[in-house]
Homo-oligomer: A and B are copies of this chain.
Amino acid sequence: MAVDREQVLKEAAALLTRRATTSMDEIARAAGISRATLHRHFAGRDALIKALEEQGIAQFAQAVDRARLAEGDAVGALRRLIGETEPHAAMLAFLSTENQLFEGGEINAGWLELDARISALFRRGHEEGDFRIDLSPAWLTEALYGLIGAGAWAVHEGRVARNDLNHSIAELLLGGIRRSMEK
């Protein structure tokens, strides 16, 4: 019976990632509580979204921390990043979608920082000669989000096995980014 904040957030993330217009009622029902109780946990819809966002950013930040982006070469760091991030793929997809939706509002500071850290990794890859220089860090960052989101969806739809996801994303991204040894 005791459904705590975490549980609710988890359900909300799953639903809102799929459809940003999911109603409070649907979220409450999915979490097994009443609408009124949902409102007691979170002051309102905006507060729920915000909490979700913050939780997601926190999770993502931890994943990025664990990936130790500054250590070793950029290729290894990117592999670690994908490995750590992939479990949170759905949440990450939600975050990037949300940011798209909140065109007007300011973007969360924590998110901007993560964005910057990931961009920095790609920049390091450029500088150290590991990554092609014709693909900008900004684009590679977006592409990473896009591939992770696509991967989460593909798994959800049963088109890709969960165990293959890490490999699928990393190989696709790295294969492209890695300066090919051709010639």
Chain B hits for A172, CB < 8 A? 135, 139-140, 143, 173, 176-177
Chain A, 139-167, contact with B by CB distance < 8 Å: what is the 0/1 string?
11011011101110110010110001001
Chain A, 1-34, contact with B by CB distance < 8 Å: what is the 0/1 string?
0000000000000000011110000000000000
Residue tally, chain A, CB below 8 Å to B: 46
A120 contacts the other chain (Cβ, under 8 Å)?
no
* A135-B168, A142-B150, A146-B147 known; A98 vs B19 contact (CB < 8 Å): yes
A134 contacts the other chain (Cβ, under 8 Å)?
yes
A27 to chain B, nearest CB (A): 16
Chain B hits for A134, CB < 8 A? 167, 171
State the oligomeric state as a number of copies. Answer: 4
Chain B hits for A157, CB < 8 A? 102
In addition to A135-B172, A176-B177, A181-B183, 20 A-B residue pairs with Cβ atoms within 8 Å of each other are A18-B103, A19-B97, A20-B98, A21-B21, A100-B153, A102-B157, A134-B167, A139-B151, A139-B159, A139-B168, A142-B159, A142-B160, A143-B150, A146-B149, A146-B150, A146-B151, A147-B147, A173-B176, A175-B177, A180-B182
